[in-house]
Structure 1
Amino acid sequence: MRKDVLNQIKLIGEDFDVLNKSELARRFNCDRRTIDRYLNDPSSGTRKPRNLKSKIDDFKETIIDKVDNYGSTSMSVYKFIQKKGYTGGYHTVNNFVKDHKKSEIKKATLRFDTSPGLQAQVDWKESITMVSKHGEIFEVNIFLMVLGYSRLKYLKLTVDRTQETLFECLTNGFKYFGGVPKEILFDNMSSVVDRGRTTFKNVAINQKFKYFSIDAGFEIITCRPYRPETKGKVETLAKLVDRLTPYNEEFDTFEELEAIVNTFNMEINNEISQATNEVPLLRFKKEKEYLNPLPKMDVLLSYFHHEKEYKVSKESMIRYKGKKYSVPTKYIGKYTTISEIDSEIYIYYTKDLIACHRISDKILHYKKEHVKEILRSDALKHYSDERIEEFIENNLKSMDIFLEE
């Protein structure tokens, strides 16, 4: 390539027509055809790389199909295409698969959308081992749900990661946020995705989970394989471990450990987020109005309703986790079921909700209307409503009980 000829012709520009090609060839001591080629296509002076066909080219589509849709390994694909006529080496196939996956990672990494109320992301911190003051080992998990715009987070300590537990955690999260995001992004977890029918390009959602999402009012967004974790979520999960470790041998019960996690939840929602450089709770004020309204809780409760039965005593109370809770007197002798959501318990007879109590450290929990019924049916059956009210005010409120209106 005559770079001197090419550069001079570029400098001459439009003035080259004042000189004929023979004169230019004489000046540059080159063939006239060289001048002609450079004048017609100045870029032709740059040598173009030769496009050599690789042995793998005819098999690339097959390899991508088997890797993406069926999770085939490099070696299994290599053995397969050998039978189809591939004569190249294994390393060529393996390098192609690696490059393809790297490319797909970039495509599949989902941006954490920051539009208010649009998206939340869900994940678990799995199998955290904690030791109590008495040397008892607790293996726990922490459910994490974070809103995309405000980065407000909801954490829940759990002993398992079943689908029923996921339903309960999501429901608690909706109550915590006071609404439901339009989309929720999930990893490829078995409680959400039917892994047996899922491929790289086609994700099959578990049918029961799909029904739950419809009832709750959000769209399921799943992450494709090869997707790296988003930076914000990884940082939060790392904090979970870092901040819990000092509490080893500092708690007695699961409830105390749960309180530690709840305190941590409050702390991180009041700290400046690295992602937004704002405090999540303050930023959430802008986001809350964009969330979908809360659905009927009874509908969501049916997805994780615990079927253990609790008999109503003659006192018109049921015993749950060492504490007693009142119900209407007509259910004495009946068997009820209980669902616990966040800081409240819901008591059911068949499928009817008959009472709801806030959980406290008190042993006895009464609803005021239940107390009136109990007193009227037995000890104070001859008293007027006014005298019963007076009795409640003067006696029950001074006792070590939790009394709700």
Structure 2
Amino acid sequence: MRESEKLEIRKLYEEGVSISELSRRFGHDRKTIRKAIREQEQEQTDVEKRNRSKKVKGYKLEPFKSYIEQRMRIGVLNAERIFREIREQGYTGGITVLREFMHPLRPVVSAKATVRFETAPGEQAQIDLGAFSYFDTQGNRRTVWCFAMVLAYSRMLYLEFIKAADQLHILRALRNALEFFGGVPQTILSDNCSPLVVSNDGRGQVDWQPAYVDFAKYYGFVPKACKPYRSRTKGKIERPIGYIRQSFWPVSFVDLDDLNRQAAVWRDTVANVRIHGTTREQPQVRFQSETLQPLPTNRYILAQTGLRKVLNDCRISWNANLYSVPWQYVGQSVLVREFETGHLQVEYGGQVIAEHLVLPGKHLVSTNPEHVKGIPYGTPGDKRDKVPGFQIGPDVEQRELAVYEEIALGGRVQ
């Protein structure tokens, strides 16, 4: 029986035509007519159910659509994160409907090709920094830096927000990461940021910052750098930085400590317990198979170092502040060390010539009166451009001696 015939039978039956009459009109027995009617009724029922299902799904998400759009406008594009947020607000629907709603609202993202590689347990970790902007309480746009480290085998993640992307803060976060993992991988891969790398010729010759080399020797790992302008060769860390932006950021926070408390909760309850898209395992479960080297007994004491020239006013400039040194070293280049304990030392020729407490702000001055004690005042200054001239008499005509004798005797000069 054709579908068009079934539709006509169903229509006539709804209008009151009996099954016997339909059997006579269409030339089918009554059993066939009843089957055609039931099939049409079942198909209509299925359509109504599907429509009701779509209506229910749309209805459940409807109260949350304005919130979702608002979150997407400020850069929250991760569906799983928004799903968690609206579930806390009472949403009882599924994530599929949410993804369908978010899909046309997403910006177009261009993809880059990346060669992925896998490493053995304990073989490698990768680190990177990402700049995250926020508005302070006065509405000024500021930047905080996120240090991220991931173990290449398990994808176990550590993150820490730091106020500056300098050597001292990066190495402090790296030390915290090693202590969080409870061990040290064989190699640590980074990009070519200046606090760690002086230069990289792209052919395997890397000139490392001495402080980072010393740190690596102490903890027993081999530092490696990706090729210049090819940070995507790190692969596994580039994705976690983006994942942090989508799944955790932006957030509201009081200060840096509050921000890192929130980050630690997200790390332990979301990032390291999710099913990873590549390994198809939870990072914290896979982490049990990592074979990391043991940590040293004592913590590495961190210090930021740099060369500075002593100014004429017996001071050196360090991190936008001024610190005094003994006047005898004016014009000399000295080595400055800022320790994480908050102390600052100035060295010359391997000897400590000045010590200060690190100033808490900027454009401040720390002065030790002993540093200018005995400075010689009235010392002759620089005599450049002060060479004396010579005064000479007027030109005098040269004459014979006899002329002067005649003048002396009262004669006249001809």
Task: Give the TM-score band, short-chain normalised.
Answer: 0.3 to 0.5
* Structure ranking higher in helix proportion: 1
Length-normalised TM-score, structure 1: 0.45
The structure that has the greater radius of gyration is 2
